[in-house]
């Protein structure tokens, strides 16, 4: 029998339906892979009983002729999603011991569709980071290694680093991620998997620990484009509990998938050709251009003039929203409390927050507090929101000349853990290609495009018009069919 | 614009995060480095541009003014570091 952990979401779903294997066998295989992969530190909480219970329900359902969209499929859940009865920490000491009494809308939809949960996945603390090094519970180690024999542990990307590592290491066939400035796409690129951030408002934010509410979007991470389409269909949909949820029907993305780009125009934004871009990234991008052309698309150059201002605008807006959102961690309602001897209420707040938040989270809260403070609000926050409006306008103008945009996902392959952790701005620059589409709320996806000279995966990003997830997925499929990406991390763990 | 140790202490106080002198000393150059970098937005001509309010046009919904949720006191208190007599408990605020 084939190793069940070699199968993706579609293959598991379809094989289970055909009776090739039971859901319980699948859950057992992945539960064992989770245990065997502990060296990667991808999971904060293992929940084999949840996966097994969902599998047994699926097996009973199959016997009685009741099949649900994700029956037989176990998933990893980023520990930013509240899960009823299972600790949810956002990888922060601030929420240590927090066991939600309710289920996030996205996980409720996945579990309602028959999926089981393998465990809660590690991430950058409160999703703030690009390497998973800000987690209070240790780094996630990428399953990939450079082929030069130096076994330096590599970053799995961030913030969805547990999600990317678990899928790349075959510990989960798919996982949930969240993306605020690139947190699905950059880790997907670093680990040779696919991931899509849908249009802002497609997936409910209810029950997802908030970082920057005008940017946060959930999305799937999986081994290929079809698997992403399947998971996204279940995760999406209107939710009255989220004021920014879009009240629109969810298209049948999987059924409509097509790798033909005939009649489509794919734009190449010239401002993404940044100074000092490695030749390998240039070459990858050119390969992507050849792929989409081969799939029938017309390739056109477009201009997004405010691209280079996107990152600084993001690092005003996201910390500002974070400073407001994270005000709730006060030691009163949930999470940890620090109460120094004789302390009053204000001292308790300050001591609790000092003990609960990690260095990067504090840094962003302080930046956010500063840019929102009296006398600086207009100079920083209002200015950044004006620049954001210009970035949105850039994209609107580009859509007059093309249907999709093609760019690299990240400016480099995965870097060694520790390489950038001392320099916040160097870390922030990792998101240079992903942040603009986040600021504009656009659907965007990363798919593997090839390997660099060290044998590490590189990702290509497709950005689409608002609500055109289908166009993004189709272009992703066109690239996937042509890239023939079959490399996987050699098992050393 | 740049921050000094006094400003960092003030921001930390506004954010309700206790900081040691050593942390303040470390944060001053760190925050100035980031603030210096985001200052480049000053180059962008934004005259006549309205700040963005919503990324995807969406209307704010109204719903009927009826009770849809509630009666969950014990659930809500379940994760409280200290709950007493059906309330969140905090250090004494009023003498």
Question: Kind of pairing, strands A116-121 and A74-78?
Answer: parallel
Region A418-444: what's the mean pLDDT? 93
Q: Is A337 in the B-facing interface, judged by CB distances under 8 Å?
A: yes
What confidence category does residue A194 fall into, taking pLDDT thresholds of 50, 70 and 90? very high
Which pLDDT value is given to residue A1? Answer: 53
pLDDT exceeds cutoff 90 at A50: yes
Chain A residues within 8 A of B42 when measuring between CB atoms: 383
Chain A residues within 8 A of B74 when measuring between CB atoms: none
Interface probe, candidates A98, A374, A386, A466, chain B, greatest B C-beta count within 10 A: A386
Which residues of A form the catalytic set?
Answer: 78, 159, 183
Give the pTM.
0.97
Chain A residues within 8 A of B90 when measuring between CB atoms: 332, 345, 348
Interface probe, candidates B55, B74, B93, chain A, greatest A C-beta count within 10 A: B55
Report DSSP state, residue A295.
Answer: T
Query: What is the rounded CA–CA span in Å between residue B33 and residue B27?
Result: 10
Q: Which domains does chain A have, with CATH numbers?
A: 4-260 (3.90.1300.10)
Q: Which domains does chain B have, with CATH numbers?
A: 5-42 (1.10.20)
What is the radius of gyration, based on Cα positions, of chain A? Answer: 21
Residue of A nearest to B89 (CA): A332
Query: What is the rounded CA–CA span in Å between residue A352 and residue A439?
Result: 32
Condensed to tens digits (0 to 9), the pLDDT of residues B16-50 reads 999 999 999 999 999 999 999 999 999 999 999 99
Q: Residue A19 has which token pair?
A: 């009776």
pLDDT exceeds cutoff 90 at B53: no
Which pLDDT value is given to residue B59? Answer: 80
Cis before A159? omega within 30: yes
CB contact under 8 A, B11 and A387: no
Which pLDDT value is given to residue A92? Answer: 98
Condensed to tens digits (0 to 9), the pLDDT of residues A228-275 reads 999 999 999 999 999 999 999 999 999 999 999 999 999 999 999 988
pLDDT exceeds cutoff 90 at A151: no
Region A319-339: what's the mean pLDDT? 98
Query: What is the rounded CA–CA span in Å between residue A405 and residue A461?
Result: 8
Query: What is the rounded CA–CA span in Å between residue A262 and residue A294?
Result: 9
CB contact under 8 A, B18 and A201: no
Region A472-481: what's the mean pLDDT? 98
CB contact under 8 A, B46 and A383: yes
What confidence category does residue B56 fall into, taking pLDDT thresholds of 50, 70 and 90? confident
Query: What is the rounded CA–CA span in Å between residue A331 and residue A328?
Result: 9
What confidence category does residue B61 fall into, taking pLDDT thresholds of 50, 70 and 90? confident
Q: Is A358 in the B-facing interface, judged by CB distances under 8 Å?
A: no
Q: What is the DSSP track for A239-273?
A: -TTSTT----PPP-HHHH-----TT-EEEEEGGGS
CB contact under 8 A, A337 and B82: yes
Average per-residue pLDDT in chain A? 97
Query: What is the rounded CA–CA span in Å between residue A479 and residue A447?
Result: 8
pLDDT exceeds cutoff 60 at A320: yes
**Nearest CB to A348 within list B13, B80, B91:** B91
Is the CB of residue A222 less than 8 Å from the CB of residue A174? yes
Surface of A (58-97) touching B: CB under 8 A: 97
Q: Residue A70 has which token pair?
A: 């994700």
Look up the ipTM and state it: 0.96
Region A87-94: what's the mean pLDDT? 98
pLDDT exceeds cutoff 90 at A142: yes
How many angstroms away from the CA of A444 is the closest CA of chain B? 15
């Amino acid at each position: 029998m084939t190793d069940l952990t070699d199968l993706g979401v579609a293959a598991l779903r379809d094989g289970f339906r055909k009776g090739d294997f039971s859901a319980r066998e699948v859950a057992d295989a992945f539960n064992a892979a989770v245990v065997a992969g502990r060296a990667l530190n991808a999971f904060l909480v293992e929940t084999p009983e949840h996966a097994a219970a969902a599998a047994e329900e699926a097996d009973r359902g199959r016997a009685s002729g009741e099949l649900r969209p994700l029956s037989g499929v176990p998933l990893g859940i980023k520990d930013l999603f509240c899960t009823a009865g299972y600790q949810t920490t956002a990888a922060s000491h601030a929420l240590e011991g927090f066991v939600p009494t309710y289920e996030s809308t996205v996980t409720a939809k996945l579990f309602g569709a028959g999926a089981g949960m393998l465990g809660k996945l590690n991430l950058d603390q409160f999703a703030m980071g690009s390497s998973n090094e800000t987690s209070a519970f240790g780094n996630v180690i990428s399953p990939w290694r450079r082929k030069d024999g130096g076994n330096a542990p590599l970053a799995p990307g961030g913030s969805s680093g547990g999600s990317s590592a678990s899928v790349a290491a075959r510990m989960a066939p798919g996982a949930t991620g969240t993306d605020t400035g690139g947190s699905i796409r950059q880790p997907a690129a670093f680990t040779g998997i696919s991931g899509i951030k849908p249009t802002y408002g497609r997936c409910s934010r209810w029950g997802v620990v908030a970082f920057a509410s005008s940017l946060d979007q959930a999305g799937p991470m999986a081994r290929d484009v079809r698997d992403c389409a399947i998971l996204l269909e279940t995760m999406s949909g209107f939710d009255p509990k989220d004021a920014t949820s879009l009240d629109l029907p969810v298209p049948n993305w999987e059924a409509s998938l097509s790798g033909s780009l005939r009649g489509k125009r794919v734009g190449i934004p010239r401002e993404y050709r940044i100074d000092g871009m490695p030749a390998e990234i240039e070459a990858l991008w050119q390969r992507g251009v050849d792929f989409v052309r081969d799939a029938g698309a017309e390739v056109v150059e477009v201009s997004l003039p405010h691209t280079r201002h996107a990152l600084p605008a993001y690092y005003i807006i996201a910390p500002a929203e974070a400073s407001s959102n994270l005000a709730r961690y006060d030691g009163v309602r949930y999470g940890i409390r620090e109460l120094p001897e004789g302390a009053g209420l204000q001292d308790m707040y300050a001591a609790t927050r000092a003990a609960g938040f990690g260095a990067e989270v504090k840094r962003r809260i302080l930046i956010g507090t500063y840019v929102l403070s009296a006398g600086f609000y207009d100079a920083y926050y209002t200015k950044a929101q004006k620049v954001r409006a210009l970035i949105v306008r850039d994209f609107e103008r580009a859509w007059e000349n093309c249907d999709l945009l093609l760019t690299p996902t990240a400016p480099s392959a995965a870097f060694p853990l520790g390489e950038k952790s001392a320099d916040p701005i160097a870390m922030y620059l990792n998101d240079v290609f992903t942040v603009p589409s986040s600021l504009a709320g656009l659907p965007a996806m990363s798919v593997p495009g090839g390997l660099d000279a060290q044998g590490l995966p590189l990702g290509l990003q497709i950005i689409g018009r608002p609500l055109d997830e289908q166009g993004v997925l189709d272009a992703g499929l066109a690239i996937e069919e042509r890239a023939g990406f079959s490399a996987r991390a050699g098992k050393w763990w | 614009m740049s921050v000094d140790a006094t400003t960092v202490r003030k921001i930390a106080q506004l954010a309700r995060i206790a900081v040691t002198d050593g942390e303040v000393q470390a944060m001053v150059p760190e925050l100035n480095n980031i603030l210096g970098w985001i200052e480049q937005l000053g180059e962008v001509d934004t005259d006549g541009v309205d700040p963005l309010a919503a990324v995807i046009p969406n209307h704010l919904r109204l719903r009927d003014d009826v009770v849809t949720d509630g009666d969950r006191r014990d659930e809500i208190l379940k994760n409280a570091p200290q709950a007493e007599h059906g309330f969140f408990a905090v250090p004494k605020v009023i003498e």
